[in-house]
Amino acid sequence: MKIKVFNADDHPLLRKGVTDLLKESDDIQWVGSAADGKEALEKIRNLQPDVAILDIEMPHHTGLEVAQILMEEGIKTRFVLLTLFKEESFFRNAMKVGVKGYLLKESSEKEILECIRSVNQGKPYVNSSLTQFLMFEKKENNILENLTNHEVNILKLIARQKTTAEIANMLFITPKTVSNHRGNIGKKLNLSGEQNGLLKWAIENRDLLS
C-alpha cells in the first residue's frame, strides 16, 4: 500500500519541487498541498494523510503549530518539518511537540524520501547535520534518569526558586532532608561546590524539567 503524503510550503517553487518528487516515487501517493498554515490545517483534517511535510515558517500558522494542533486533536498523521533553520531551539520545540521528522531544505531528494518512509513506520528521522542536537538531548535526558522521582520534584521546585524551608513545607519533610537531597542531586549532576550552583543549573535547564 502506498504512503499517502501531503506537503505545505508558502514558497511556490519549493512546494512544487517536493510535490514533483512525491509524484515520481513508486511507493508514495501525493494527496495534496497547501500554501499556508490555515489551508494546511483544513486539508490535513479532511485528507488524513499518513505523512505531512510542513514548512516551519508559513502565514497564519507555522508548520509546528499545525502539527501541534492536529496531534492534540488525535489525528494519526505523522509530521515532518522541512526548514531553513538550523537553530537548536526550533529542533527541540519540534521534538517536544512529537514531530517525527526534521529536515533542512538543503536535504537531498534521497533524504526526504528516506525520512517519509521512516516516519511512516513510526521511526524518527533527523537530518544528518542535526544529529548533534539529538545526541545532546539524549545526554541531558540520561542525566535526569539518574535522579529519583522525588529528586526530580525537588529540582522542579528549586527551578521555581523555592527555598529549602518552602520545599520542606510543600513536601512535608524536614529542611535537613531537603538539604540532603540537594547535596545528592548536585553530585548526580556533577556540579561543583559553587554557591547557588544547583539553583543556577535548575533555572538554566528549566525546559528539561517541564
Give this prediction's pTM: 0.62
Q: How far apart are CA 106 and CA 81, in angstroms?
A: 13
Within 10 A of 121 (CB to CB), how many other CB atoms are there? 11
Render each residue's pLDDT in the chain as its tens digit; 210 residues. 899 999 999 999 999 999 999 999 999 999 999 999 999 999 999 999 999 999 988 999 999 999 999 998 889 999 999 888 766 667 777 777 788 888 888 888 999 999 999 999 988 888 766 654 444 444 455 567 778 888 988 999 999 999 999 999 999 999 999 999 999 998 888 886 667 889 988 888 777 776
* pLDDT for position 24: 94
Would you identify the CATH topology of the domain 3-130? Rossmann fold (3.40.50)
**Confidence at residue 103, expressed as pLDDT on a 0 to 100 scale:** 87
CATH for 146-209 is: 1.10.10.10
Instruction: Give the max Cα distance, the chain.
Output: 67
User: In the prediction, which pLDDT does 144 show?
Assistant: 74
pLDDT value of position 91 = 73
**Would the CATH topology of 3-130 be identical to that of 146-209?**
no
pLDDT of residue 210: 63
Give the torsion sign (CA, 12, 18, 21, 27): negative
List the chain domain ranges.
3-130, 146-209
110 class by beta-carbon count within 10 Å (0-12 exposed, 13-18 middle, 19+ buried): exposed
pLDDT at 193: 67
Distance in angstroms (rounded) separating the CA atoms of residues 65 and 62: 5
